[in-house]
Amino acid sequence: MNCDQARLLLHPYLDGQLDVVESHRIGEHLAECPACEESRARIQDLGRLLAKSDLRFYAPSALSHRVRSALAEVDRPARRAEPQHGRRLLTTLAVAAVVLLAVIAFGIGRSGWIGAPSDKLLASDVTEAHIRSLLANHLLDVPSSDQHTVKPWFIGKVDFAPPVVDLADQGFVLAGGLLDVLDLHPVAALIYRRKQHVINVFVWPTSQTSDSQITESTSRGYSLFHWTAAGRVCWVISDLNANDLRDFAATFQKRLEHATAG
Residue 26 is classified by DSSP as H
Determine phi and psi for 180, rounding to 5 degrees: -140, 180
141 secondary structure, DSSP code: S
Q: What distances in angstroms separate CA 86 from CA 19, 82, 96, 161, 223, one per listed residue? A: 40, 7, 15, 56, 56
Q: What is the DSSP letter of 170?
A: G
pLDDT at position 251 is: 92
Which of 18-27, 110-119, 120-129, 251-260 comes out lowest in average pLDDT?
A: 110-119
Give the count of beta carbons closer than 10 Å to the beta carbon of residue 43.
14
Query: Which pLDDT tens digit goes with each residue over 85-139?
Result: 566 666 666 666 665 555 555 454 444 433 445 778 888 889 888 888 787 556 6
pLDDT at 164 over 80: yes
3-state SS assignment for residue 32: helix
Q: Which CATH number does 119-261 carry?
A: 3.30.200.100
CA distances from 106 to 96, 115, 124 (A): 15, 12, 15
| Residues 222, 84: Cα–Cα separation, whole Å | 57
Query: Would strands 197-205 and 215-219 be described as parallel, antiparallel, or unpaired?
Result: unpaired
d(CA 188, CA 176): 11
Closest among 217, 164, 172, 167 to 199, alpha carbons compared: 172
pLDDT: which is higher, 256 or 54: 256
| Rg, Å, the chain Cα set | 26
- In the chain, domain spans: 3-50, 81-115, 119-261
